[in-house]
């Protein structure tokens, strides 16, 4: 398998693992943006929100645990203390967990509107 295709399969597997963890914590409006041909920094943005600070932290903790268990390395984790916008950098997958009150304000889906939305199961 060519190296680039192998790397894309790996990032897709991480994205799928993360989405499952997010959905297990009942995150709202889960959106996955494919940035493969748009960004040199990452392959996927996973965006969701929680309805409270506690839920935002629970979602982020679940993502962190799922990443650890799958062998994905966490390059950065920001925002857990305030739980308004938690960013989890997994390299080829970046997860954005917003508080419901802040998601519309930042509107990442609009900022990255040229990205394709990934249909996942």
* Tokens found for residue 84: 């308004």
Q: What does the pLDDT average to over 43-67?
A: 96
Q: What does the pLDDT average to over 91-107?
A: 94
Helix (H) or strand (E) holding 82: none
Nearest to 52 by CA among 95, 16, 101: 101
The winner for highest mean pLDDT among 2-6, 9-13, 65-69 is 65-69
State if pTM tops 0.85. yes
Instruction: Report the pLDDT value the prediction gives residue 3, as an integer from 0 to 100.
Output: 53
Please name the residue that has the structure tokens 């997860």.
Answer: 95
């Amino acid at each position: 398998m060519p190296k680039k295709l192998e790397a894309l399969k790996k990032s897709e597997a991480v994205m799928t693992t993360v989405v499952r963890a997010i959905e297990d914590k009942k995150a709202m409006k889960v959106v996955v943006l494919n940035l493969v041909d748009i960004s040199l920094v990452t392959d996927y943005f996973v965006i969701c929100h929680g309805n409270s600070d506690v839920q935002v932290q629970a979602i982020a903790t679940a993502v962190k645990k799922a990443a650890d268990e799958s062998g994905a390395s966490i390059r950065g984790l920001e925002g857990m203390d305030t739980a308004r916008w938690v960013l989890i950098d997994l390299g080829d997958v970046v997860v954005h967990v917003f508080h419901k009150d802040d998601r519309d304000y930042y509107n990442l889906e609009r900022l990255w509107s040229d990205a394709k939305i990934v249909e996942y199961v």
